[in-house]
Amino acid sequence: MKVDIKSDRIVIVGGCGHVGIPLGLAFAARDFDVTLLDRNLPAVDTINASRLPFKENGAQEILERYLGRTLRAASDPALVQTAHTVIFVVGTPVDEHLNPKVRNVLHILDEYLPLLRDDQLLVMRSTLFPGTIRLIGNLLERNGRGTRLAFCPERILQGKGIEEIFKLPQIVSGMTPEAEEEAAQLFSALAPKVIRVTPEEAELAKLMTNSWRYLNFAIANQFYMIAEDSGIDFEHVYQAMTSDYPRAKDFARPGLAAGPCLFKDTMQLASFYNNNFFLGHAAMLVNEGLPEHLVRQLKRRMGGSLRNRRIAILGMTFKANNDDTRESLAFKLKKLLEMEMAYVLESDPYLPETLPLAQALEQAEGVILGVPHDEYKEIMPSVPFVDCWGIWKKR
């Protein structure tokens, strides 16, 4: 089946978020007619004012060039009916017991069912718990919908989404050969290569990709804690392990492993494997335990007590050089410090509501590096500090 995809309209449901905006801008830059559909009215207004609600490399230029031409943002769900391709940026979250909330995805699809047509391609884009795509297919069939269904998971690095959409292979799967072929043609307009798999393989590939990264960070963090608790300079150990040694070139740096995907997807993979994914649970204990280790380190360096001491956290986002605070472990750091009865000074150059760096450094009696923004690489705190990222030399 050959589809004239260039003449088709694309509506991205949940389009004004961190996954939808890079994808929509990428399609718009390839001359597709794209609508970013979102219930978040401030985000819709921000896009239509030619501004971005968050930092995304290369996005502003594309937004300014294509807004009003091949790109628009809107909040009216009825626009789904005008599209040939409907892309849902709706993933499977986990609940307070770390179990996948599949019903959330199905509930959103339920709301849009009356708007879907039999001649449309429906693409699920975000992480799905294995088996969810089959449940969506059954939902469509049960309601008499012939809509073609595909799952094409995103694998972009937050903040570099547009760049990676154009450079990385795209995983494509479909519930029917027709859906798979149509999705492959669609994403071939963006990606240099498409990789065709079954829907179950696509679901598992996304979870395993993020779990693999999460485990890598856990190994680095565990090694860091082993060395530091033994009174050994981990940075020296790291350099000895990795310098000109090819088999360690991909060894991760220690650091707060946070963000909206890695932890969540690792727990989903564990749930899928009947909670027998012991490596995943061990990685969770290590990565989620690192903030407590950092607080203990600083406490030792400040004489055994942080009570009524002013402690600055430099960097509150979940990753460097970005403004995204989703699931940032810096906020866990803050709570732990407050439990030690410390006064916490938050500072981040990407969050204007926090203290300026100079003011935080002037007031602080101790410092923990939350995330290694470039702005921090040229400074050296004059008070006791903890830096698991290794950007400051040991005092």
Which 8-state DSSP code applies to residue 315?
-
What residue type is assigned to position 145 of the chain? R
- Distant-in-sequence, close-in-space partners of 3: CB < 8 Å, separation ≥ 6: 181, 182, 185, 186
User: Do 221 and 174 sit in the same domain of this protein?
Assistant: no
User: Are the C-beta atoms of residues 150 and 162 closer than 8 Å to each other?
Assistant: no
Residue 394: predicted pLDDT: 53
User: Do 228 and 176 sit in the same domain of this protein?
Assistant: no
User: Do 30 and 172 sit in the same domain of this protein?
Assistant: yes
Query: Which residue in this structure is represented by tokens 């039999």?
Result: 118
DSSP string, 145-205: ---EEEE----PPTT-HHHHHHHS-EEEEESSHHHHHHHHHHHHTTSS-EEE--HHHHHHH
pTM confidence score: 0.92
User: Do 242 and 378 sit in the same domain of this protein?
Assistant: yes
124 phi, psi to nearest 5 deg: -90, 135
Task: Kindly state whether residue 395 falls inside one of the protein's structural domains.
Answer: no
User: Do 170 and 257 sit in the same domain of this protein?
Assistant: no
User: Do 285 and 164 sit in the same domain of this protein?
Assistant: no
Residue 99: predicted pLDDT: 83
Task: Kindly state whether residue 226 falls inside one of the protein's structural domains.
Answer: yes
User: Do 157 and 291 sit in the same domain of this protein?
Assistant: no
- CA nearest neighbour of 134 among 180, 171, 98, 174: 174
User: Do 50 and 133 sit in the same domain of this protein?
Assistant: yes
Residues 25 and 156: their CA atoms lie apart, in Å, by 14
Residues 284 and 324: their CA atoms lie apart, in Å, by 21
DSSP string, 153-169: ---PPTT-HHHHHHHS-
User: Do 185 and 327 sit in the same domain of this protein?
Assistant: no
User: What is the number of alpha carbons within 13 Å of residue 77 lying toward its C-beta?
Assistant: 11
Taking only the tens of pLDDT, the chain with its 395 residues reads: 444 544 579 999 999 999 999 999 999 999 999 999 999 999 999 999 999 999 999 999 999 999 999 999 999 999 999 999 999 998 788 887 778 888 889 999 999 999 999 999 999 998 899 999 999 999 999 999 999 999 999 999 888 999 999 999 999 999 999 999 999 999 999 999 999 999 999 999 999 999 999 999 999 999 999 999 999 999 999 999 999 999 998 899 999 998 888 999 999 999 999 999 999 999 999 999 999 999 999 999 999 999 999 999 999 999 999 999 999 999 999 999 999 999 999 999 999 999 999 999 999 999 999 999 999 999 999 999 999 999 997 54
User: Do 216 and 75 sit in the same domain of this protein?
Assistant: no
User: What is the number of alpha carbons within 13 Å of residue 395 lying toward its C-beta?
Assistant: 11
Q: Which CATH number is 310's domain given? A: 3.40.50.720
Q: List the domain range (segments joined by +) for residue 214.
A: 205-386
Task: Kindly state whether residue 392 falls inside one of the protein's structural domains.
Answer: no
Of 143, 163, 197, the residue at which a domain comes to its end is 197
Of 197, 213, 228, the residue at which a domain comes to its end is 197
Task: Kindly state whether residue 391 falls inside one of the protein's structural domains.
Answer: no
User: Do 242 and 130 sit in the same domain of this protein?
Assistant: no
Residues comprising the chain, all counted: 395
How many domains is the chain partitioned into structurally?
Answer: 2
Of 152, 179, 197, the residue at which a domain comes to its end is 197
User: Do 210 and 193 sit in the same domain of this protein?
Assistant: no
